[in-house]
Structure 1
Amino acid sequence: MASKPLTIVIKLGTSSIVDENTHEPILSILTLIVETAAKLHRDGHNVVLVSSGAVGVGLRRMDIEERPKHLPRIQALAAVGQCRLMSLWDGLFSHLRLPVAQILLTRNDIADRTQYLNAQNTFAQLFDMGVIPIVNENDTLAVSEIKFGDNDTLSAITAAMVKADYLFLMTDVDCLYTANPRHNPDAKPIEVVTDISSLEADVSSAGSSLGTGGMSTKIVAAKLGTSAGVTTIITKSSKPGNVHEIVRYLQQMEQLDLGSEESSGSPDLPTPPPLHTRFIPSETPIQSRSFWLLHGLKPRGTLYIDHGAYSALQKKAGLLPAGVLGVDGHFGQQEAVRLVVVEKISPDALNGEFLHHGQEPKEVGRALVNYGSSEIIRIKGQRSTHIQSLLGYADSEYVALRENISFTQNNDSPRH
């Protein structure tokens, strides 16, 4: 039985590919990564690398010892380093006759739905052409407002965008442990995680002096990836060959499961793969548009809504102004906002404080709004028929259309 072609995203941190002290590229690991990607490609799989390291390589190129704190200087070093890094990747892959492509992203690049779909189409075309995309955050232009924050998050959003089967987060440990194995000899590996919210593990590992991500960012990335239906795996960055072995093992196990349904014999089990932590994807993954609404857009403010409005949204109705209790932040039409469910506003509250009646306000999702914050402040709590008289115009009876609202996954809400 032939293995089905997969789409595999491999995320590499700065510390995986650039020496923390000398800032020199770690050629031995880079070469192994290229060989691993080539093996996967030969097996018929699509491969995406999400590669940090531009600033680290820029430091080496400019003979600067420490990562500066001044943002324009960091961005300038990223511009210098990105050229060298891509030249390095291109040179290594060219030995195996594999073309590569550079894709630099910020949140702004995928905030527009059309651009997000264009990015998906570009990835699809590159796969068809047998090209390996190499993705990085566009550190040369990105500021905090449009940054993903770390490449773990970027890799999870990329994995969702390309509808990946596997997302590998390469790190300096084999897997997650119940405690820090460096200090606690009783620490046990966590090999499979079915429910991230109940995960009890040691996540104290911080990022390197060059990188930005620690173990906690990998947990966040695993939550994003699994919510989109992507099996997310943490494994050791110094042994890139693990990726190929783990993929082969999981494919063999899947084939055995399929074969056991047709056969009553007891098949031979494949050799266990290297140690890793595997996060099982959600059985009800968020669909592409909903994922984009939740994670592709940076919320510009918050709408506080009542339980009646929340119930109506769950029944596929849009958000009417009558259900909006309060507004926080400054935003315009067609910008993203958080949706937070509260009981009600205290009539004598001076700064919009909410009465929770023992219940904390709960963020339930995100929405693209039809009106800006100043307009919603004027129409909140009112009937839709009053919008014309309150604003002088009525672009829509809804503050947000249902198709432009997406719930976070831990809410019992319909998927669309």
Structure 2
Amino acid sequence: MAVYRNSQNTHRPTKTSLTLVIKVGTSSICDEKTHYPLLGNLSRIVETIIRLKQLGHRVVLVTSAAVGTGLRRLNLDRKPSKLATVQAIAAVGQGRLMSMYDDLFGQFNQPVAQILLTRNDLADRSQYLNAVNCLEELLDMGVVPIVNENDTISVTEIKFGDNDTLSAITAGMVKADYLFLMTDVDCLFSDNPRSNPDARPITVCHDVEALRREVKVTSPGSALGTGGMVTKLVAADLATSAGVTTIIARGSTPENIPRIISDEQNPPLHTRFVAQPKPLVDRMWWILYGLQTQGTIVVDANLAQQIADSSSSQKCPVSLFAHSITGVEGNFVEHQAVQVVVEQNANGAKDIVTIAKGTVNYSSSEIIRMMHAREEDMMESLGYDSGDCIIDQDNIAISV
């Protein structure tokens, strides 16, 4: 495969003090059947973080298992399907989970802080920046932030969906050097190693999208968790675009993390997703990954080409005007985020290609009226005239 190679000789950050985000899943914290906490694993995770801090690094822990811990606390056998019940169980489990972490870190006099997030908390730019500033202040104070999705109030529309995605967004927020996705295998394989003995370990990846097309990663997460290897590839794509080197490693041996980030020649087996050399600037990354997509705008081929050209030449993005729009999908309002797509014909079949994402100046219904109105009729069509710029160049992030 051209997208990876079995070699560990890749560029690593040379800073003596690194910012690390470590994500541990439910399977690393709770037994899948009994829901009892895996105290041995938790202790090794805590001891590893203490060791990393002693080496001068800053560490953020992204943790799952609020629901799993709540099931054990309430003596329930399985995760229910009713949303309100799951939220109530998470409310019970989150307090118990933080209590365990506080007890373990307290053995080393290490203060911790609880950070609970939903997509809604990051959708508003000022709230996003407040969250960033809070995380930075905690790290500067020597505190270990412990981040989890706020499952008590999360619904489908505002959920990250899994903590792999949450950890990638957190890594982008704190401008981390490394994101560690701890799982139940040593690394990513070309196929499921449990069913295919010929599955090959993938140690280095430079192109996540190409890798996703070439390997089989259809296995789901555990009965308690929400992820799997698919979500880890999504997280790696998000994090590397923000300039964060992403690692998949075994969660039961977190003590390998210091060896992986060191310059030794034979580190433990893991998968390394190399950070993009030209990461997205903060605002563009926030638009692409921090905002929930609420609808779709279809543009003509001419504008699509201009957007692609501005990306390849590193020019400022172009603004999007009403006369370049050929279709609108979904119901959205002013200032919400939409994806910008173009229709292409390939071998007689119509293909939809996403080229950008941005925040709109008008609602979907207003844009539709503007599409069908001549420029001189704009005032009559809308009842006011604020121009026909649908997305300003400062509010559009190119994804091609």
* Equivalent residues in 2 for 1:282-321, closer than 5 Å: 282-313=276-307, 314=310, 316-321=317-322
Cα distance between partner residues in 2 of 1:385 and 1:165: 52
Say whether the 8 Å CA contact 1:321–1:382 is kept in structure 2: no
SS in 1 for 2:33: coil
Say whether the 8 Å CA contact 1:55–1:78 is kept in structure 2: yes
Q: Per-residue deviation at 1:172?
A: 0.5
The two structures, once aligned, show a CA RMSD in angstroms of: 1.8
Larger fraction in strand = 2
Indicate yes or no: 2:125 matched with 1:96: no
Cα distance between partner residues in 2 of 1:232 and 1:329: 34
Aligned to 1:246: 260
Cα distance between partner residues in 1 of 2:302 and 2:373: 14
Say whether the 8 Å CA contact 1:370–1:395 is kept in structure 2: no
Q: Per-residue deviation at 1:338?
A: 1.1
Q: Per-residue deviation at 1:65?
A: 0.6
Aligned to 1:204: 218
Q: Per-residue deviation at 1:317?
A: 2.8
Q: Per-residue deviation at 1:186?
A: 2.4
- CA pair 383-127 structure 1, distance change in 2 beyond 3 A: farther
Cα distance between partner residues in 2 of 1:38 and 1:197: 35
- CA pair 237-119 structure 1, distance change in 2 beyond 3 A: same
Cα distance between partner residues in 2 of 1:356 and 1:163: 42
From 209, 229, 239, give the equivalent of 1:215. 229
Aligned to 1:132: 144
From 9, 17, 29, give the equivalent of 1:17. 29
If asked which structure has higher relative contact order (CA below 8 Å, sep 6+), I would say: 2
Cα distance between partner residues in 2 of 1:148 and 1:365: 20
From 167, 172, 177, give the equivalent of 1:155. 167
Aligned to 1:391: 382
Could you give the per-residue CA deviations for residues 105-147 of structure 1, whole angstroms, max 9, x where no partner exists?
A: 0000000011111111011100110000000000000000000
Say whether the 8 Å CA contact 1:334–1:368 is kept in structure 2: yes
From 80, 99, 104, give the equivalent of 2:92. 80
Say whether the 8 Å CA contact 2:169–2:238 is kept in structure 1: yes
Say whether the 8 Å CA contact 1:384–1:398 is kept in structure 2: no
Indicate yes or no: 2:380 matched with 1:379: no
Q: Per-residue deviation at 1:359?
A: 4.5
Indicate yes or no: 2:177 matched with 1:165: yes
Which amino acid letter does the alignment assign opposite residue 304 of structure 2?
A: Y
Q: Per-residue deviation at 1:312?
A: 4.0
Aligned to 1:142: 154
* Equivalent residues in 2 for 1:270-281, closer than 5 Å: 270-281=264-275
Which amino acid letter does the alignment assign opposite residue 335 of structure 1?
A: Q
- CA pair 22-294 structure 1, distance change in 2 beyond 3 A: same
Question: Could you state the TM-score of these two structures normalised by the residue count of structure 2?
Answer: 0.91
Aligned to 2:3: none
Say whether the 8 Å CA contact 1:370–1:396 is kept in structure 2: no
Cα distance between partner residues in 1 of 2:376 and 2:353: 29
Aligned to 1:111: 123
Aligned to 1:360: 351
From 75, 79, 85, give the equivalent of 1:63. 75
Which amino acid letter does the alignment assign opposite residue 299 of structure 1?
A: T
Cα distance between partner residues in 2 of 1:109 and 1:73: 23
Cα distance between partner residues in 2 of 1:357 and 1:114: 46
Say whether the 8 Å CA contact 1:322–1:382 is kept in structure 2: no
Could you give the per-residue CA deviations for residues 333-388 of structure 1, whole angstroms, max 9, x where no partner exists?
A: 10111111136xxxxxxxxxx99964412111111000101100000165555422
From 23, 40, 49, give the equivalent of 2:61. 49
Identity %: 53
Cα distance between partner residues in 2 of 1:183 and 1:363: 35
User: Which runs of 5 or more residues in structure 1 are unaligned?
Assistant: 253-269, 344-353, 412-416
Cα distance between partner residues in 1 of 2:33 and 2:45: 21
SS in 1 for 2:294: coil
- CA pair 145-86 structure 1, distance change in 2 beyond 3 A: same
Say whether the 8 Å CA contact 1:324–1:381 is kept in structure 2: no
Cα distance between partner residues in 2 of 1:44 and 1:87: 26
Say whether the 8 Å CA contact 1:368–1:400 is kept in structure 2: yes
SS in 2 for 1:152: helix
SS in 2 for 1:44: coil
SS in 2 for 1:174: coil
SS in 2 for 1:399: strand
Aligned to 1:186: 198
Q: Per-residue deviation at 1:308?
A: 2.0
Cα distance between partner residues in 1 of 2:184 and 2:96: 24
Aligned to 1:29: 41
Say whether the 8 Å CA contact 1:325–1:381 is kept in structure 2: no
From 195, 218, 227, give the equivalent of 2:207. 195
Cα distance between partner residues in 2 of 1:204 and 1:379: 43
- CA pair 181-378 structure 1, distance change in 2 beyond 3 A: same
Cα distance between partner residues in 2 of 1:67 and 1:401: 45
Structure exhibiting the larger radius of gyration computed from Cα positions? 1
User: Which runs of 5 or more residues in structure 2 are unaligned?
Assistant: 1-13, 311-315
Aligned to 2:343: 342
- CA pair 323-382 structure 1, distance change in 2 beyond 3 A: farther
Cα distance between partner residues in 1 of 2:387 and 2:335: 12
Greater Cα offset, 41-50 or 392-401: 392-401
Question: Could you state the TM-score of these two structures normalised by the residue count of structure 1?
Answer: 0.87
Aligned to 2:333: 332
